[in-house]
Chains A and B, each alone.
Chain A
Amino acid sequence: MDAPPTTTGTQPRGLQPETMAGASNESIELPMDQREVVFDCRELGVRYAGVRALRDVDLNIHRNTVTALIGPSGCGKSTFLRCLNRMNDLIPSAVVDGACLYHDEDLYGPQIDAIEVRKRIGMVFQKPNPFPKSIYDNVAFGPRVLGMKDGLDDRIEQALRRAALWDEVKDRLRQGALGLSGGQQQRLCIARALAVEPDVILMDEPCSALDPISTAAIEDLMTDLKSEYTVVIVTHNMQQAARVADMTAFFSVDQGETGTRCGVLIEVDSTEKIFTKPSNERTEAYVTGRFG
């Protein structure tokens, strides 16, 4: 890490402030499955326009860990990820059932404000999606709309440094973000998410469009980030999951009697176990390349 994060945010940032208590890094010394539970999903499922895409996901995500979601295309990894910060709300046909507790509070509870949820749980998308404005304004967007206006320049420098982009862009902050390379754009999007100091960062195949060097930079970043954040990534790259993730969750598709396809969580365990001695044979078939 380059420097401690700025703490200029004067926002009361909390669904309920007391859940923020005990925000220390002690948990990083604990074994993974004893660390504080950030997300506790219970029988979480999603339907799109009545068609079930995901069902019965029971999954705990722990603080200060990198959790990787792997599985064949269409098994609902992105769908699941979007449940964690209520981005599914933006898809009118999507209906979420079951419960997803975030620090013991149901994200889908009646009094929860989805906007507040997304302030705390940032997201990076598969395709880099910088705003069509300057590099500076891209990173400044979040702090500006959330009213974190003090020390904006510092905050932006911090975020860009953490995303390993500062040295490449420090002389061109006022230039358009669309002039950056794909890998730089993706790191800019990560910086943009970091600038609002979320608690959790969700990444949906963040490296799928990147070259090995940018990928390595982002993987380093993820390892780096987990000392302060909780990271969840979707990836199709097994080596990547093996390299960066502490925990790995394997999703697959269940074929229903009527030919309906529905995503399910097959197994979640420490990455080492998933890749060396998984307890489910479907997991084994998938990670060894014999997909079934």
Chain B
Amino acid sequence: MNGPTRTASVHATRAVERSLAGRRHRSLAASVFLVYLLFSTLVGLVALFVLLFTILRDGLPYLDPTLLANAPSANPALAGARPAIIASVMIALVLIATALPIAIATAVYLEEFAPKDRWWIRLIELNIQNLAAIPSIIFGILGLAFLVRGLGLGPVLLAGALILGLQMLPTVIISAREALRAVPDSVRQGGMALGATRLQVVWREVLPAAIPGIATGSILGLSRAIGETAPLLMVGAATFVSYNPGLLTQYTVLPILIYQWIKLPQADFQGLAAAAIIVLLAILITMNGFAIWMRNRYERKW
């Protein structure tokens, strides 16, 4: 009785020794790999810090109340970015009011209610994925053809916001679907087993549980839209706007103003551009901070 067990355990010990010996050889490869990972991380970080550093160095001296309060001007001492800041914030608000609810509702429908085996649902899914990969300038052309000219909206802020919203839809839909999919099915089953309707389960359990992920995706989409230039140039965002924009007026946004200023010959405008970049960064960081706050607030472990 004792014999076989003993040999077995000797074999086991040998196997362990062998695998321990093997580890030493692998550890060189492992450390090379680790160094590579670390290096890759550093590339991104260093690039980011260099950018941040130069922008802060150039821009901070110009970051003053004038920049926030004044309209653009040919005189760098008086030039400000107020209309562009207002327009960027307004666009963000329009996106939050239009594109976000549509994107989240689409994601909820596709993930929770749609008959997934139907060909038309699969066609819709495929198209959403393709839309996410379309260059933004194409969305600009679409906006020009349909909103600005077709609907006769003209080159107004609303048209620009709507086209940015359209461009934002696929990314937000895809990330919101991912967040919904991460909610375990057992939650849905638990709710349904209590006699709740699917809508009640989605509304009261699934959606709240997915909020952190949905918020993260939404804010990333929003941030990208706020930093976008190309499609807005296409739908006729003006370059020089000295009044406060409204939904149905001409407008310019921060990225366009920045681009405009950098092109000017006076050195002061380069500094102003850097300062405007700091303002844009501040807006984006605030939005991201909000997303992180939402995520921490609603974070759940399964």
Contacts and interface: CB of A to CB of B under 8 A. Distances in A.
Contacts, number: 78
Interface stretch (A85-93, A100-108, A160-168, A214-222): A85-93
Nearest to A119: B195
B135 interface: no
Interface residues of A, number: 29
B204 A178 contact: no
B24 interface: no
A125 interface: yes
Contacts of B187: 129, 131-132
A122 B195 CA distance: 8
Given A131-B205, A178-B300, A178-B302, A141 B189 contact: no
B194 A122 contact: yes
Nearest to A92: B117
Interface string A108-133: 00000001101110110101011111
A25 B196 CA distance: 28
A100 B187 CA distance: 26
Given A131-B205, A132-B209, A122 B300 contact: no
A176 B300 CA distance: 9
Given A125-B186, A129-B186, A118 B195 contact: yes
B216 to A, nearest CB: 17
A85 B194 contact: no
Given A125-B186, A132-B209, 6 more contacts: A87-B192, A90-B188, A127-B186, A131-B191, A132-B187, A145-B200
Contacts of A176: 300
Contacts of B205: 131-133, 141
B61 interface: no
A122 to B, nearest CB: 7
Contacts of B209: 131-132
A238 B191 CA distance: 30
B190 interface: yes
A5 interface: no
A85 B193 contact: yes
Interface of B: 115-117, 184, 186-197, 200, 204-205, 208-209, 300-302
Interface string A127-169: 1011111000000011011100000000000000000000000
Contacts of A178: 300-302
A170 B200 CA distance: 27
Given A127-B186, A132-B300, A178-B302, A141 B191 contact: yes
Contact of A142 (B186, B188, B194, B300): B194
B197 to A, nearest CB: 6
A154 B66 CA distance: 62
Contacts of A122: 193-194
Interface string A171-182: 000001010000
Interface string A200-220: 000000000000000000000
Contacts of A123: 193
Contacts of B192: 87, 90, 118
Given A132-B300, A141-B204, A178-B302, A189 B195 contact: no
Contacts of A118: 192-195
A141 B190 CA distance: 10
B44 to A, nearest CB: 33
Nearest to B116: A92
A176 B208 CA distance: 14
Contacts of A87: 189, 192-193
Contacts of B186: 125, 127, 129
A90 B189 contact: yes
A137 to B, nearest CB: 9
A144 B197 CA distance: 12
Contact of A196 (B184, B188, B194, B208): B194
